[in-house]
């Protein structure tokens, strides 16, 4: 029987609903640079198909403007965007999604290893974790992999391969928590069982291969933050998921899915 040994968290859209703050920060950077670009919600939803801020800017310029852009402008725009995004974080405007902190605390109490596998910038990760969980929380994670850890970004599985190698674990000994098509594609490419918590930007994504797709993890005893099952693998029983997904639920799903 395969034992669950670690939970691996994505960041943007999974730990917190960050994408709207990213969009606002991009638009701020464009305005500061004197550009007339404005990414509305509809456009940004399309741009999210590309992971990585610099990559997203290049994609927009090439595929939507049919133009080219100098690398130094891409870098300066991305730096300005990240500075604004981190200011939003530090003002406390990005709370964790329901059930995230409860699950992390439960993992810590149970000696379940936790890690982060994201393709966002290092500062974005550390500032979000520190602002929402406290400075000490950075030490809770066995490993934090970010955009500098794996230059080839999701949907490529590189960042997950990197984390597994650092932790000395097999894919089937972990569960990934993700929120998007790129995330589930990256994790399932190397057979990591994956839980998807959708958000407004990813609700229409395709999640082939996911172990389960839910609205959110949910909080026990909180009727305003209930987990709703959207899709579930045939190996699992929907009855094993209540109003929230905790560590016990993840262990039960993992056992049914991998054995």
In which band, very low, low, confident or very high, does the pLDDT at 257 lie, cut at 50, 70 and 90?
A: very high
Is residue 186 assigned to a domain?
yes
| Sheet containing 143-145, strands listed edge to edge, beginning at the edge strand earlier in sequence | 143-145, 113-117, 6-9, 174-178, 194-197, 212-214, 229-232
If asked whether residues 244 and 125 sit together in one domain, one would say: yes
Residues 6+ apart with CB under 8 A from 38: 27, 30
Last-in-domain residue among 90, 123, 140: 90
pTM: 0.94
pLDDT digits (tens, 9 = 90+) for 70-121: 999 999 999 999 999 999 999 999 999 999 999 999 999 999 999 999 999 9
If asked whether residues 132 and 191 sit together in one domain, one would say: yes
> What pLDDT score was predicted for residue 39?
98
Tokens of 206: 């395709």
The alpha-helical segments, DSSP class H, found in 33-112 are: 41-47, 53-63, 71-90, 100-109
If asked whether residues 138 and 226 sit together in one domain, one would say: yes
If asked whether residues 72 and 175 sit together in one domain, one would say: no
Alpha-carbon span 247 to 29, nearest angstrom: 40
pLDDT digits (tens, 9 = 90+) for 198-244: 999 999 999 999 999 999 999 999 999 999 999 999 999 999 999 99
Sign of CA dihedral 240, 243, 249, 253: positive
> What pLDDT score was predicted for residue 76?
98
Query: Would you please indicate which residues are annotated as catalytic (active-site) residues?
Result: 10, 12
Average pLDDT, the chain: 96
> What pLDDT score was predicted for residue 151?
85
251/1: higher pLDDT: 251
> What pLDDT score was predicted for residue 1?
77
Sign of CA dihedral 113, 107, 244, 256: positive
pLDDT digits (tens, 9 = 90+) for 161-182: 999 999 999 999 999 999 999 9
H or E element at residue 175: strand 174-178
Q: Summarize the confidence of residues 25-31 as an average pLDDT.
A: 98
Alpha-carbon span 54 to 76, nearest angstrom: 10
Give the domain extent around 33: 19-90
Q: Is 134 left (phi over 0), alpha (psi -120 to 50) or beta?
A: left
């Amino acid at each position: 029987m395969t034992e669950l040994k670690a939970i691996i968290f994505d960041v943007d859209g999974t730990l917190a609903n960050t994408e709207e703050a990213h969009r606002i920060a991009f638009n701020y950077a464009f305005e500061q640079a004197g550009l007339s670009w404005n990414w509305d919600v509809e456009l940004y939803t399309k741009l999210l198909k590309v992971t990585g801020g610099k990559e997203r800017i290049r994609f927009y310029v090439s595929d939507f403007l049919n133009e080219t852009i100098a690398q130094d402008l891409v870098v300066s725009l991305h730096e300005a965007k990240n500075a604004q995004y981190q200011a939003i974080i530090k003002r406390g405007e990005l709370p964790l999604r329901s059930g995230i902190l409860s699950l992390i605390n439960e993992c810590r109490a149970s000696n379940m290893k936790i890690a982060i596998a994201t393709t966002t910038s290092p500062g974005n990760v550390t500032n979000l974790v520190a602002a929402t969980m406290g400075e000490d929380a950075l030490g809770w994670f066995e490993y934090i992999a970010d955009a500098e850890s794996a230059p080839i970004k999701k949907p490529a599985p590189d960042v997950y391969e990197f984390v597994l190698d650092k932790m000395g674990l097999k894919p089937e000994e972990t569960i990934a928590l993700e929120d998007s098509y790129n995330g589930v594609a990256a994790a399932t490419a190397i057979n990591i069982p994956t839980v998807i918590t959708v958000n407004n930007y990813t609700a229409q994504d395709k999640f082939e291969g996911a172990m389960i797709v839910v609205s959110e993890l949910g909080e026990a005893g909180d009727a305003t933050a209930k987990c709703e099952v959207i899709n579930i693998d045939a190996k699992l029983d929907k009855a094993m998921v209540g109003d929230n997904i905790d560590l016990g639920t993840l262990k039960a799903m993992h056992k049914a899915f991998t054995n």
